Amino acid sequence: MRIHSDSFANGALIPAEFAGGHAHGFAPDRNPHLAWDQVPEGTRSFALLCVDPDVPTVPDTTNRDDMEVPVEQPRADFFHWVMVDIPAEVREIPAGSCSDGFVAKGKRNPSGPAGSRQGLNDYTGYFAGNADLDGQYFGYDGPYPPYNDLRLHHYHFRLYALDAQTLPLKPGFTGKDVLAAIEGHVLAQAEWVGTYTLNGKVLAG
């Protein structure tokens, strides 16, 4: 199975159009275009995850003017998009069709391919306790890494072809829930990776 995007090249920087934040605040937050082919026989649905494995694990070090987040700081996964039950006949998700702007407190019913279901991304936990932003963040919300992070962040768009038409997941499921539910049901997997940073030093190399 192959996947590609017309929104950015594999391994290249993600345009701010498809990011959650830029240097001046929230960005357009549109989902990127994705398309795939060479789907294996027996595929009954797809699951889609977008995960950033480069998120700092010491929150107190992020977005500070008096220090930088060192490259060697331990990192953790952060899910930006969680979608399941994508019908087997679907081969493309147009840019901006599932997210076309940041919504404070989260998108309640984000659009997507007919029949698909979208779970909570990890901004749900990140904004918890913030009076202006606390909420349930369903669907896609793009990159918004700490501006003082010295590590380039990588965003893995992972598509799974499954032998199950639906997954036994309750509303409000997370990326980790999906990974557990698809175990033993994956016929094929494909990945497209984009990068993003808000740190000028990282862009300068």
| pLDDT number for residue 176 | 98
Neighbours of 25 (CB within 10 A): 8
- CA dist 159 and 175 (Å) reads 13
Average pLDDT score, the chain? 97
Q: Is 109 left (phi over 0), alpha (psi -120 to 50) or beta?
A: beta
Please state the pTM of the whole predicted model. Answer: 0.97
Strands of 57-185, DSSP E: 75-87, 92-93, 117-118, 153-162
pLDDT of residue 177: 98
Q: What pairing do the DSSP bridges indicate for beta strands 186-196 and 92-93?
A: unpaired
Q: Tokens 């398309």 — which residue?
A: 35
